[in-house]
A and B are shown apart, each in its own frame.
Chain A
Amino acid sequence: MTRSAALVKTEPALLTFRPSRGWTALNLVDLWTYRELLYFLVWRDIKVRYKQAVLGVAWAVLMPVVNIVIFSFVFGYLFHQNQGGVNYPLLSAAGLLPWGLFAGALGRCSGSLVGNTNLITKVYFPRLIIPIASVLSGLVDFGISFLIVLALMLFYRFPLTWNMLWLLPLTLLVVITALAVGLWLSALNVLYRDVGYIVPFLITTWMYVSPVAYSAGLITGRTRIVYGLNPMAGVIEGFRWAIMGSNPPDVLFLVSIIMVTVLFISGLFYFRRMERTFADTI
């Protein structure tokens, strides 16, 4: 081999595969190497979602608007939730915004591995890419919902404040929450298809125990700590605070954050542990 050829040719990496046991490291380097695949899978999910729908992206506008109208009618008008001069349409919109992202992401994420069986049994890549992609693909719809909330704010002449910048980290928190729960459910779904039946029920129930249709201000004292065990409670109240300037984050938010962290880290490791048998059991 000539000297120049030797310079061009890089020595390929030596990889060893052997049986792994028990809990393994997360291998985030591998995840980074495959970031382009993550991008393409997110892009595929978004593209396919609206491809053969007559109304296309209009659905992403229509659904949240319909939800806000129904909530405002049922809870705001029939159940008089808008006491004390609270703007109920905006209150529900600010709750539905993170909830919609979470519910959609969780639904897609728990079915994501089973839905991509053909990829898992035919090609190697870090399996974490699949649930992550399914969660991230909800961000486009979220962006559209956010524009609707902005429109509502302008309509009701609510001031736009610097506080709204908090929405960025809060959105990240919703994504991580959905992923935390989704990692558990998607991996469990590979073993037990029962998960597929449980998830829609879980999401509906979860919505009622989260402050979506009502404000968590209704819950006071010690109960708030227990209520915070629902990881979505803190972040939804956070959204309301950033948008409407309502109750600032307190102990409820802190408990929620701790819950998310615990769920997320345990979910990551559980997923990694199950990952090696996905191709055999799916």
Chain B
Amino acid sequence: MTTSIRVEHLSKRYRIGLAPRRYQTLSENITHFLQAPLRTIRWIQTPHQDAEDTIWALRDVSFDVREGQVLGIIGRNGAGKSTLLKILSRITEPTEGSVQVRGRVGSLLEVGTGFHPELTGRENIYLNGAILGMKRNEIDSKFDEIVDFSEVKQFIDTPVKRYSSGMYLRLAFAVAAHLEPEILVVDEVLAVGDAEFQKKCLGKMGDVAQQGRTVLFVSHNMSAILRLTQECLVIEKGKLALRAASSEAVDFYLSAGNTNAGERVWDESEIPLSAAPFRPLALRLRDSRGQVHDTLRSTETFSIEIEYSVSAPVTGLRIGFYLNTARGEAVLTSFDTDDPFLYETHTSRPTGHYISRCTLPADTLNAGRYSLGINASSFAIRRYFEEEQALDFNVDAAGAPGTQWPEPRQGVVRPRLQWEITG
């Protein structure tokens, strides 16, 4: 077996603020430049650790990929997956280490890169194909196939700005799906589009894998990872945490506690004065073992924990959360004194430190991304504190009913329902 990709001691350092501070101005830089000698002196004096204003997005990552292997890459947002893909796709250079690739690398970090709204579907196929690295005669010979796959044949000479978002995505993916490099690098492109389309894309990905091409596949969709890959890398805080068979890697990823994620802590400075005497301290998500986590299993219970303090007695206070999907659709709203008994026993809360905890039953939420908001108020009297989007989290449906089929299921809930089949 030949090696298709060899990554050795790969590191990538970013200057913090380089990306977010988009509009550096000349004057800022002149100031920076004038301060340079001073900084250099300080830098020499202090034993040189990493400079304060830099972060390592990747640190000393090494691995090999065999030709024809489909390797999954999983990790939390900001773990360094995208940076790794960008280096492999040659978009950015590593700071240290090296990458060797055998053959053409096709990267799909996004579908429809370079699509121009004013151009027609036909024109965009050629443009996008060329951007992805296809030769003109290659596009010519695959043109009909691409159009068929996209299902937008009758609109092929219409500017794509008139397309629905679904048509646009189908066309964009159709071009990408017909790219035939020796190595394909795919980042979460399956997260878009409707369920039908996602199914088609997953099918196409499976085909690609069977043609013996090397594929690197990044996804937050654990079902897709399990379906398409045999082996996975787990990236944590820029380091390679584990390389293992996919099922093991997915388990590791879902159970590895990460205290930063799954928790929102309020700093005193963030709280408006109007909130007093209420003061929110933290909002946490705990999995069934009590660990704070931002990725929860659909098949297990989890709890939402609100920690707060009250600096003067409050009457009628209720603490609750809003649960919404990442797209902003409301899933449910619940308060700690919804229950008549608790309502009676907690008409007034004396000064003190509290935790209100709500446990959600297993088999409730479908896979996807959700967001939690909190609200502390006395009904019809006063709202002390509210934050609509305090904490985001993921639900993974691995093991949920129906996951034997690698298809996304529509809907927000995924209960375990009773079926009977009579014959």
Contact = CB atoms under 8 A, between A and B. Distances in A.
B371 interface: no
A119 B113 contact: yes
B170 to A, nearest CB: 19
Interface residues of B, number: 47
A27 B28 CA distance: 33
Contacts of A17: 87, 90, 93-94, 98-99, 101
B332 interface: no
Interface residues of A, number: 37
Nearest to B107: A123
A251 B337 CA distance: 91
Interface in B130-151: 130-133, 135-136
Interface stretch (A36-44, A99-107, A142-150): A36-44
A156 interface: no
B119 A48 contact: yes
B109 A13 contact: no
Given A36-B136, A52-B118, A192-B25, A19 B92 contact: no
Contacts of B159: 51
Interface string A110-135: 00000000111111110000000000
A192 B24 contact: yes
Contacts, number: 114
Nearest to B123: A47
B221 interface: no
A48 B118 contact: yes
A123 B132 contact: yes
Contact of B100 (A14, A39, A40, A121): A14
A23 to B, nearest CB: 15
B94 A19 contact: yes
B101 A14 contact: yes
A3 interface: no
A222 interface: no
Interface of A: 12-20, 36-37, 39-41, 43-44, 47-48, 51-52, 118-125, 191-194, 276-277, 279-281
B283 to A, nearest CB: 33
Contact of A280 (B25, B92, B102, B113): B92
Nearest to B134: A36
Contacts of B22: 193
Nearest to B93: A276
B44 interface: no
Contacts of A276: 92-93
Contacts of B109: 122-123
Nearest to B101: A15
Interface of B: 14, 18-19, 22-26, 29, 86-87, 89-105, 107, 109-110, 113-114, 116, 118-119, 123, 126-127, 130-133, 135-136, 159, 182
B131 A37 contact: yes
B99 A123 contact: no
Interface centre among A44, A118, A194, A279, by most B CB within 10 Å?
A44
Given A44-B119, A48-B118, A280-B19, A13 B14 contact: no
Contacts of B118: 47-48, 51-52
Given A17-B87, A48-B118, A12 B136 contact: no
8 contacts: A17-B101, A19-B94, A119-B113, A123-B91, A123-B132, A125-B131, A193-B25, A280-B18
A10 to B, nearest CB: 10
Contacts of B29: 191-192
Contacts of B114: 118-119, 123
A14 B3 CA distance: 10
Contact of B103 (A13, A16, A20, A193): A13
Given A12-B102, A192-B26, A193-B23, A122 B110 contact: yes
Contacts of B135: 36
A41 B128 CA distance: 10
A37 B91 contact: no
A178 B98 CA distance: 37
Contacts of A40: 126-127, 130-131
A51 B161 CA distance: 13
